Amino acid sequence: MDQIVLTGFMGAGKSTVGKILADTLALPFIDIDDEIQKEQQMPITAIFAQLGESKFRELEHKMLLQALQKNVVIATGGGIILSETNQSALKNANHVIYLKTNPQTFLTRLSGDTSRPLIQEKSPQEIQAIFDSRTHLYENTAHLIVETDNLTPHQIVDKIKNYFQRGKEQS
């Protein structure tokens, strides 16, 4: 299978970039969070509230494994990296791209966002601590790291495409 998996913290642009990248490469697009919401017929905040985070993480793992069986562009949730089994699955995926953002960038993007249960009622310092605890996990599973702060979604897609073109030229 030839999949491209986008990882990164909340607000990194995984869904936005993923849709553009999928269109550009003529591949299907799967947003794991969206698929979970469709399957459960409720928003993620409700899944966390009614079923708990551990059930959400179980659903997330199942959805990741299903998506990795397809030729597709995949946008993961920010916390998918927390599970060692997910880390292993990502390390074995074809192409994992970490969309790295500066904390100030994602704090600005997430300001006022009520759809993300893990940041509700958290201070910027608490959100920063969550980010800091995940950074090395994203980096350790990535085949490519793209720093996104000063790039538009289309520029990020261009960087990813250039990475693939260089790889094809070398093989």
Residue numbering of the annotated binding site for Mg(2+): 15
Provide the Cα torsion 148, 153, 155, 161; round to 10°.
100
Contacts of 112 (CB under 8 A, 6+ apart): none
Contacts of 42 (CB under 8 A, 6+ apart): 50
Binding residues: 11-16, 33, 57, 78, 116, 134
Binding residues for ATP: 11-16, 116
Contacts of 161 (CB under 8 A, 6+ apart): 21, 24, 25
Let me know: does 131 contact 119? Beta carbons within 8 Å: no
Binding residues for substrate: 33, 57, 78, 134
- Fill in the DSSP letter of residue 82: G
Q: Please state, in angstroms and as integers, the Cα–Cα distance from residue 86 to each residue in 52, 74, 81, 104, 164, following that order.
A: 19, 14, 6, 27, 24
Phi, psi of 97 (to 5 degrees): -115, 120
